Amino acid sequence: MSFATLIGNQHQKTILQRLLRGGQIATTFIFAGPDGVGKRRFALTMAKAANCLTGAPAEGFADDCCDFCQVCCRIDEGTYGDVTTIEPDGQFIKIAQTRELAVEVFYRPREGRHRFFIIDSAERLREEAANSLLKTLEEPPPTSTIIMITSRPDSLLTTIRSRSQKLNFSPLTTGEMEAYLKANFPRPAPDTALLARISEGRIGQATAFDLSVYRQQRRTLIELLEILSDGNNRYRLLKAAEFLGKKERNEFEDELDLLSSLLRDLFILSTGKSIDSIVNIDVAESLRNLAAKVGTDRLILWAEKTDRLRAGLRINLNRQLALESLLLDLAQTA
Ligand SMILES: [Zn+2]
């Protein structure tokens, strides 16, 4: 992608493009922010702009790339000699990896104009590995840029942070996310709208998400809430608890997250607020009916009890028992 087509984090884009134009990129950057908000994409776009075959000015660098030339394509494929990505080898980034980087960084570009070293998940640099980089980070040679990508900037050594220029990246807004998905992953409008909301502004999350599984889980949970709204149908509730409790732990936690998200949507709808602020916008009508049936007071209670179960899940190993008691408890608030 080029800067022109990247969506979100406009301020960070402006800063990077200004540095490129001024030729002031031989430095160490920390790109900080939650997973999936585009930090790596920004780093690669910067590398493409600096090395793109079209429109390189005599001084400084172009502030965007063409996205089509041989260099842009090879950087996207990960086969360009002047863009190196370092990722954890196993659990950590090891000292052998950083020692190699510390040597490599001083060589002139092999084929392009400027070299880029992207350290992904930089919070997993072991202390000795990080220390071996300090001198390099302080004064990268004029033809190299180091970009450390991390979702946990606070866990980087202070000595690393003080030698780097930090840019904070944020999740995209729902509007930005919809525009991005529409342009890059065309699908039916209700799917795009739903995905933009579920992914909480994280592109990485949106592109890896399986909507059909989500919708299936959601259908089960909405049915469950329908049963609850009808009062105390003990038999059907226990059947539902049995079904949900049999899930693997991760899946069970996902379902509780989804239940919380549905309850939040129902609460919003029960107070008469606009549907724009709910997540499950593609089933807004049936949620609105359900919300009216349950009522705001009961929804608040349900949400509280569900949150309590989520918090207790860490100590309560018997998921099914916990779930049964939650559901019976919820039904009794009818
Ligand atoms: Zn290009």
Taking only the tens place, the pLDDT of each residue in 32-89 is 999 989 999 999 999 999 999 997 888 899 999 999 999 999 999 999 999 999 999 9
How many C-beta atoms lie closer than 10 Å to residue 274's C-beta?
8
Tokens of 160: 């690393």
- Determine the distance separating the centroid of ligand 1 and the alpha carbon of 202, expressed in angstroms: 26
Which pLDDT band, with edges at 50, 70 and 90, does 317 fall under? low
Confidence tier at 234 by pLDDT (50, 70, 90): confident
Distance 68 CA to ligand 1 centre (A): 5
Can you give the pLDDT at residue 72? Answer: 97
- Whole-number Å distance, alpha carbon 148 to ligand 1 midpoint, is 23
For residue 294, the CA-to-ligand 1 centroid distance in Å is: 57
Residue 118 C-alpha to ligand 1 middle, in angstroms?
19
Whole-number percent of the chain with pLDDT over 70: 97
Distance 149 CA to ligand 1 centre (A): 23
138 vs 298, higher pLDDT: 298
Distance 201 CA to ligand 1 centre (A): 28
Pairwise pLDDT comparison (8 vs 330), residue with the higher score: 8
* Interval between CA 72 and ligand 1 midpoint (Å): 4
> What domains are there in the chain, each with its CATH number?
10-170 (3.40.50.300), 210-332 (1.20.272.10)
Q: Give 149's pLDDT tier (boundaries 50, 70, 90).
A: very high
Dump pLDDT digits (tens) for 104-131: 999 999 999 999 999 999 999 988 888 8
Q: How far away, in angstroms, is 203 Cα from ligand 1 center?
A: 23
Q: What is the pLDDT of residue 316?
A: 58
**Ligand 1 centroid to residue 48 C-alpha, Å:** 7
Q: What's the confidence (pLDDT) of residue 314?
A: 65
What is the rounded average pLDDT of the residues 252-281?
90
CA–CA gap between residue 83 and residue 81 (Å, rounded): 6
Q: What's the CA-to-centroid distance between 51 and ligand 1, angstroms? A: 7
Task: Please tell me the distance between residue 296's alpha carbon and the centre of ligand 1 in angstroms.
Answer: 55
Residue 90, by phi and psi: left (phi above 0), alpha (psi -120 to 50) or beta? left
Ligand 1 mean position to 59 CA, how many Å?
Answer: 17
CA of 65 to the centre of ligand 1 (A): 5
pLDDT of residue 315: 64
DSSP state of 256: H
**How many angstroms separate the CA atoms of 48 and 26, rounded?**
15
* CA 183 / ligand 1 centre spacing (Å): 20
Average pLDDT, the chain: 89
For the whole model, what pTM was predicted? 0.79
Residue found by looking up tokens 């100590």 in the block: 315
| CA of residue 1 to ligand 1 center, whole Å | 10
Going from the Cα of 66 to the center of ligand 1, the distance in angstroms, rounded, reads 4
Write out pLDDT tens, residues 162-174: 999 999 999 999 9
pLDDT higher at 97 or 317 = 97
Structure tokens at 224: 């469950």
Question: Is 170 in contact with 201 (CB distance < 8 Å)?
Answer: yes
